[in-house]
Structure 1
Amino acid sequence: MTAATPCVLVIDDETQIRKFLDIGLRAEGYDVLLAANAAEGLALAATRSPDLVILDIGLPDREGHEVLAELRQWTQVPVLMLSVRDAEKEKVKALDSGANDYMTKPFGIQELMARLRALLRNRATGASTEALPRYQDDRLHIDLGLREVTLDGEPLALTRKEYAVLAMLVLHAGRVVSQQQLLREIWGGTHVHDTHYLRIVLGKLRQKLGDDPATPRWLKTEPGVGYRFLAGNG
């Protein structure tokens, strides 16, 4: 993402809010990513590295506070919380949990834009380094913050899809990520049954890593379910 076109990730389950923000943000020159639930939002945050996140507290699969807590485990990206709850304790809870700002619904688009500009200015002047997950053993080094993957000290040339799959698995290292989740977040909701896409990408990743699927060191297939990144095997 370039400084000239900052990217904003909107995580909100209300279709009208997402459309409203998508139109308003794009009109102001922002790139926009949209997520309707916590799972989609966390995956996009990990694989697309947005410059700012607008996060609704009332999501269908997880509370926004939980999403914020998970984000803060690996990134300091500015987060503006949205909620219909206007009680002071809700605002304090969000800010104490690591949110950078808080707005209640309904809100004015111009005030929202002013707050976004302020958050992005603060981020630019703060010069903080993103604490995205890293993995390193005696052969493989993965730095999601720098978007770098090296094998035996040499940069590994990955396609965008190969990197996105690897990044999502590393983000959930040790846990199974389902085929449907990978397909939905990386290829889109219309491709959740196109499992051959994943097989091709995982095959290419294994080939580049020299990872034998019969005795995997890093990329393990969980038959009929999904894939797991084997952290701690180095």
Structure 2
Amino acid sequence: MTGPALARLAALLADDTRATFCLALLDGRAWTAGELAGHAGVAPATATGHLHKLVAAGLLTEQRQGRHRYVRLADARVAQLIEELAAHLPPVAAPARTLRTATASAALARGRTCYDHLAGRLGVAVTDALERTGRLSRATGFAFTPAGLRWLDGLAPVRASRRPLARGCLDWTERREHLAGAGGAAVCEHLLARGWVTRVGTGRAVRVTPTGSTALADLFGADPAWTA
């Protein structure tokens, strides 16, 4: 890694449109160029030019299906980079200009996906609950305990993954770390698959369902974050 190479990488994200695309893609899903253009409020041709640069740099990958071209973040390392950069933003955000913007911001702060794991108050609460119930240890960094590994085995075969099983990801709204890594992805997938957590609209926001509120309280104990 050289200084000029690092500067080129930083310059890719030093653009409002490209940064907006990367933040949107933190939901872990594939978006079309048209969807990203609409989300960022730019012309389709403008979006295409920005996407070419992000794909060429290896930050995004693309897949064509029929007439549509889909893009997504290249991997979990890129997602971690974007989320941790966002965590360095000033904690006091500018006042929301509309009720819709304020509502969307509140939903993201309450709970969201960070690529393939949970973030926001919900993600931090799940992380705290895993530690409180003896499934996760933060004594020397993030690590699942033997009891936690047995519990994870019932969710998905994550230990065969080449990704770290557990790592901390700095939450840009809570200013604390939430659980990421293959284990964090397995927990998120499990909660979504069971219907305990559901997506809100088409963005990154998620919320606990009434069924999930009861199930999470049974599993981890009472917590305001489980309120449906």
TM-score (norm 1): 0.26
Q: Identify the structure with bigger relative contact order (alpha carbons < 8 Å, sequence gap 6+).
A: 2
TM-score (norm 2): 0.26
